[in-house]
Structure 1
Amino acid sequence: MITKRYDDILEELIEIDHKSGLKVYIIKKPKFNKTYVSLTTKFGSNNSSIIDETGKVTTIPKGIAHFLEHKLFERNGEDISTVFAQNGASVNAYTMNNRTTYLFTATKKKIENTKLLLDFVFNPLFTKKGIEKEKSIIAQEIKMYQDQASSVAYSTLQANLYETHPIKDDILGSIESIKAIDKEILKKTHTAYYHPSNMVLLLTGNVDVKKVETLLDSYEIKTKQTHFPNHVTYNDESVFKDETVLYKDISTPNLMLGILGPNNNKDIMKTEAEINIMLDIYFGKSSDIYLDLLDKGLINDSFGMDVAIDTDYSYFLLGIESNKIEEFIPIIKDLLLKMKDYKITDEEFIRTKKLLLGSFIHSFNSIEAISSHFLNYRLLNEDPFELIKIIENITKDDIYESTRFISNIDDMTIVKILKKKNRNL
């Protein structure tokens, strides 16, 4: 067991290496009544294949990470959520591009619920009947998202940005792709990606460390593997498709714009902080640009932007719902192009760094926020609690370098979702 203290944020992190290879982290928050416990596998929709002991590679169906997340909750035809509820805990799970996380929050029976979490995630019970039933449920979920303009715009944007990287594919998969999922491929995929050496257990809150150690010392996790993760390198260097226009039954047109970024990324936490500083200065709600666009009626409360960065992809995105998207597009393109020449003032630089630091420190009032931040960067082999030092050491030149790609409008894609009645105009 290793204990690391962070004096600048008054936090303590305990790290335990389980005999199975499972990494265990404990963030002690003794003044909190609630405890947050999560078990995460580094397996998400970006993982597209597995490999066996002979070196044979098998492509896994798109959407299987999300499908597997759903199926692990079924135990002999019953939903494991009811057992957590009986123990006074609220359980949930989510699948992302690079991970799947199972979690619960509770104020009592924390060790009992932690054991239950380990049990149902590491020891699946798949049945043919349950798998076929789940296909129908997820097919309905897919149809529901296909009716949501914002979801369609986002998934289309990713498909436009990337030709080969699996991020182009929806996390849920498609109705066709999930038809290929059966008991055998679920078991092989679980063996490959749910091995404890590929997973992280995180406990945040009023945690009794000795009780956790006792549980882990006595807990046996199967470590035999027949299949293993297969990590593939992708190299999308240009946008796959420049523009897509779709028509749906909506009241207001949707616009989403994306710009392809670097695909070989390191120091991701630092890079994200640098980009967020520039975006807040240049496009933030107190900026001249934002106020001018607002005054002209070109933006509204739906206007927003973000950056997505992982080790092998990154992109900037901007979205808005507006009746003036055609007028807005050339203006926002020009603003993005000019951003590379924007010179940050000392006052802007100091003020925005302070805001970012304050936001990070404030997040420690929420065990959910702490846990999410920790997982985001720990899974990238970065130290999440070093963010204060990182922000303090950021320079203006660092910001200019990290945000340069956002001005590369040659690597831009646009997705428009228009009202159906406009199609023939």
Structure 2
Amino acid sequence: MKVPAQSKEQIFLELSSHFGLPGSERFAKILMKLLNEEEAKILLLLPGTAKDIASKTKISKDKAVEILEDLDRRGFIVPSSGEGEETEYALCANAYDGILYYIGWKRVRGEKLSDSDIEILNLMEDFSINEFLPAYADEAEARVLPVNEAIPTGVEVLPYEEVAKIVDNAKVIAVAPCPCRTMRSLGHGERCPYPLLTCMQFDRAAEIFIKRGIGRKLTKEQALKLLRKFHEIGLFSQIAQADHGFEFICNCCPDCCDYMILWKSLGKGGPFKSRFQAVVDKNLCIGCGICEKRCHFGAPEVKDGVSHIDPARCMGCGLCVITCPTEAIKLVPVRGKEHIPEKAGWSLIPPLPSYDELKKQIEAGTVVWEEVSEGSEQS
């Protein structure tokens, strides 16, 4: 049975659905500006190898390899298994961020962003505010990671909430431009005062970023030094609300971070608190107010010459602790181990169906795609 032809708009709406954003005209519009129809149709056939693509289209295997490698470099897909020509690719679990990493790295290299880049960033911000963040407000799964120097000696720190342990356990480490800051700062004349190169990746994610040329490889010592610097200048760290399988540490500011914007605008969807909370020794506190200025969550308030911490607002990051001139603040554990669930962290590779399963969906009419021919007209 011949599959009815689709309009360009239908193809990209279908692709938006494949990326987990069904019916999103905003994201489809973004994809239309970044991909041509040939690339979009190939993405609709994934997961699969270059051989799979060649067998289902009129594209040669060599051309399919070339297109897939380019889509990987640009952040739309990731290699899920195999090597060389046998590499199987899947859609990136978060192409939303992948697009931003790619543009952000241009700025890291010292390039001036084009008008097209700025347009994409502004479209991404519009999509983020109006669709992406509200849709995921109840599913945010980041957890604040405490600054280890803020925790008193002798207090138990679990391996998956200790920055030094997470870094030490990693085999490969990289740092890349923060996607949130790329979108909300570079799209508006670099209005954010914080550095751009602050998103840290580990192991498989780090390997992918380094291979794509959008991540800078770090030693463990360099990673720890960077994290200390981030905390000193006022960035707080977030990690997946999980106990293993960490691929990212986000180092966040209050005005660019997706989770912070959710928390401030909707009152939900913000990061999970760490297991710790800041407490003040009123005998040591001099009421200088540094903690008030450092806290992004509005937890400390100086009253009658002494800082008071609102437990409801304290996220347990420890930024207030490490700059207290009299060491009057410390982090103490207030939540048990059960606060952190037993599951894996975020991954670039989504649990997508196999090619055979997608083929069944296609034949059932759930997913529609057309044959792609080599040399198709570019959009």
By percentage of residues, which structure has more strand? 1
* TM-score normalised per structure 2: 0.24
TM-score, structure 1 normalization: 0.22
